[in-house]
């Protein structure tokens, strides 16, 4: 007799049928386990402190290798280099060809970026996510599954960094445009 018959596992017609079987047995399904692990990794990443005047380099240096790989792919930069070398190439791309990067963004992320720039280069994260949606449905593994949310797309292009910052004596989750990008965008009026 097959194990499938013993535990009465239904044919896989819907993506969540196995998950429901695991859950009914009191076992965390592989999908639930992966969501828990990636959620924990994401929370750890987003709880790091950030300066409201962060630089591209400072923001990228806080990223783990898998996110740097996703940023490199978003900018069509080789993913075979070491993290340090990828960061140098990403910074170079953003500081020398920012107009191309902005031009290739979809309209919604461009509008989200404009909102942050018009607010002085940073906003509380919830202000941005209320208007443009959060990143809940984005994968943590940008190299293999690029983000689809407006905030995620901006982050995966290193145009926006998130973290915790002290504001008026309290710590808030914020979204910050790196200072070099902010200055170029303000001077050249690249966001329409």
pLDDT digits (tens, 9 = 90+) for 143-154: 788 888 999 999
Section 72-77 average pLDDT:
94
pLDDT digits (tens, 9 = 90+) for 35-45: 666 666 666 66
Angle formed by the axes of helices 107-118 and 125-132, to 10°? 150
Return all residues near 184 (Cβ < 8 A) that are at least 6 apart.
95, 98, 190
Q: What is the rounded average pLDDT for all residues in the chain?
A: 83
Distance CA 20, CA 119 (A): 45
Whole-prediction pTM value? 0.78
Distance CA 108, CA 150 (A): 6
In 3D, which of 173, 179, 191 has the Cα closest to residue 48? 173
Distance CA 156, CA 143 (A): 9
Torsion of CA 50, 52, 56, 57, to 10 degrees: -50
């Amino acid at each position: 007799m097959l194990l499938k018959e013993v535990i009465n596992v239904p044919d896989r017609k819907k993506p969540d049928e196995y998950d429901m079987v695991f859950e009914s047995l009191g076992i965390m399904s592989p999908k639930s386990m992966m969501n828990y692990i990636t959620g924990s990794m994401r929370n750890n990443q987003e709880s790091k402190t950030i300066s409201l005047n962060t630089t591209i380099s400072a923001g990228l240096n806080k990223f783990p290798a898998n996110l740097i790989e996703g940023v490199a792919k978003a900018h069509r930069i080789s993913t075979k280099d070491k993290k340090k070398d990828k960061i140098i190439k990403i910074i170079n791309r953003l500081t020398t060809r920012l107009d191309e990067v902005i031009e290739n963004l979809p309209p919604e992320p461009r509008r989200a970026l404009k909102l942050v720039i018009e607010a002085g280069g940073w906003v509380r994260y919830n202000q941005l996510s209320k208007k443009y949606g959060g990143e809940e449905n984005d994968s943590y593994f940008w190299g293999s599954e690029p983000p689809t949310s407006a905030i995620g797309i901006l982050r995966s292009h290193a145009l926006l960094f998130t973290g915790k910052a002290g504001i008026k004596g309290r710590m808030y989750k914020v979204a910050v445009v790196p200072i070099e990008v902010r200055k170029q965008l303000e001077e050249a009026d690249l966001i329409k």
